[in-house]
Amino acid sequence: MSETDSIVTRSSTFSNDRKKHKRSATSPEIVKPIDRTNKSHTSYFFRKDTDNNEIAYCILCERKLASNRKPYSYSRKGGLTSNLAVHLRDKHGVTKNNYLEYLDVNNEPKENEAQVTNYRCSETRQQELLRLLITFIIKFVQPLYILQNNAFRDFVHGCEPGFQIPCKKTAKNLIHEAYIWSKDQLLNLLGSTVTSIHLTIDLWTARSKHDFIRVTATWLASDFTFYEVLLTCNHLEYPHTGEAISDELY
């Protein structure tokens, strides 16, 4: 082999090596997806709707329904299962820590193990706890999604296992009823005790950088009982000009 042929051969080999290196640098190895094994424990106790995969039915509840009754449907939109887990925990006592106890050798729900929880508060106790819960939400300005917080629910059921925590819609209705009741009580109080009244307007900025304006009323009844009530508290948009404050008040 001549010197020229040797140079050409070495050049060709070097070029091929560079191409292989370039392909390996720019074309990463394709990794096959790994099958997921940590599926939610709710999948063992719920069946999907035959026509809509975003709807599921509790197998345990279906077993206790009459043949002519339609089971309650639960949403699993986007694959979310938190509401399913809450139902299993509160209704059947099934959690991610003990669900294996409720499955047979075929990983199917056992027939008689998971029973619907029958213990509930008396109606009087339920209404009293509802009143205290709504009072807590109002006075401490709690968001309604606290009703779905697992830690909060565990705390409530630890204190009173038979208490039925209301849903968001029920809580809204109860808050509205509380507002109507308080308004009627305030009107009756003003009509029966006020001879003269002092109004105070307060404007401040919260830590959240939101501005609020409130009006409080104070007065002395004929028996010298001192009263102070909040009449309104509203969000006030910037700028806080006299015209903007006047429009908000009147």
Instruction: Please give the angle made by the CA atoms of 132, 135 and 140, to the nearest 5 degrees.
Output: 125
Rounded to an integer, what is the distance from CA 161 to the centroid of its chain?
Answer: 20
Length in residues, the chain: 250
Rounded to 10°, the helix 168-193/123-139 angle is 80
Q: Is 137 a member of any domain? A: yes
How many Å apart are CA 143 and CA 164, to the nearest integer? 19
228 in a structural domain: yes
Residue 238 pLDDT > 80:
yes
Closest by CA to 58, choosing from 34, 23, 83, 37, is: 83
User: Is the predicted pLDDT of residue 156 greater than 50, yes or no?
Assistant: yes
DSSP state, residue 91? I
Distance of CA 180 to the CA centre of its chain: 26
Residue 211 burial (CB count, 10 A):
16
| Mean pLDDT rounded to a whole number for the chain | 81
110 occurs within a structural domain: no
Query: Against a cut of 0.75, is the pTM above it?
Result: no
Q: How confident is the model at residue 226, as a pLDDT?
A: 95
- Same-domain pairing of 51 and 80: yes
**Does 131 reside within a domain?**
yes
Largest CA distance in the chain: 124
Residue 113 near residue 133, CB atoms below 8 Å: no
| 226-235 residue pLDDT tens | 999 999 888 8
Quick one: average pLDDT of 179-188? Answer: 92
| Owning domain of residue 204 | 194-249
Gap between the Cα atoms of 184 and 43, Å rounded: 49
Q: What tens digit of pLDDT does each residue of 95-146 get?
A: 888 888 888 888 888 876 544 444 577 889 999 999 999 999 998 989 998 9
Query: What pLDDT digit, counting tens, does each position of 25-47 carry?
Result: 454 454 444 444 567 888 899 98
Higher-confidence residue of 18 and 91: namely: 91
Do both 48 and 87 map to the same domain? Answer: yes
pLDDT at 186: 92
**In this structure, is residue 185 part of a structural domain?**
no
Q: How many domains does the chain have?
A: 4
Whether residues 245 and 199 share a domain: the answer is yes
Main-chain dihedrals φ then ψ at residue 34, nearest 5 degrees = -90, 135
In tens, the pLDDT along 190-218 reads 999 999 999 999 998 888 888 999 999 99
Dist CA 61 CA 72 (whole Å): 9
Q: Which residue has the higher pLDDT, 54 or 19?
A: 54
Pick the more confident residue, 64 or 235. 235
The SS3 assignment for 20 reads helix
Per the domain annotation, does 187 fall within a domain?
no
Long-range contacts of 244-250 (CB under 8 A, 24+ apart): 245/201, 245/203, 245/213, 248/213, 249/201, 249/213, 249/215
- Specify if 116 maps to a domain: no
Q: Indicate if 67 and 93 belong to the same structural domain.
A: yes
Whether residue 60 is found in the same domain as residue 94: yes
With respect to residue 179, please indicate whether it lies within any of the assigned structural domains. no
Compute the Cα dihedral for 169, 174, 179, 184 and give only its sign: positive
Render 8-36 in DSSP notation, one character per residue: HHHHHHHHHHHHHHHHHHHSPPPPPPPPP
**45 and 98 fall within a common domain:** yes
Cα(164)–Cα(82) distance, rounded to whole angstroms? Answer: 18
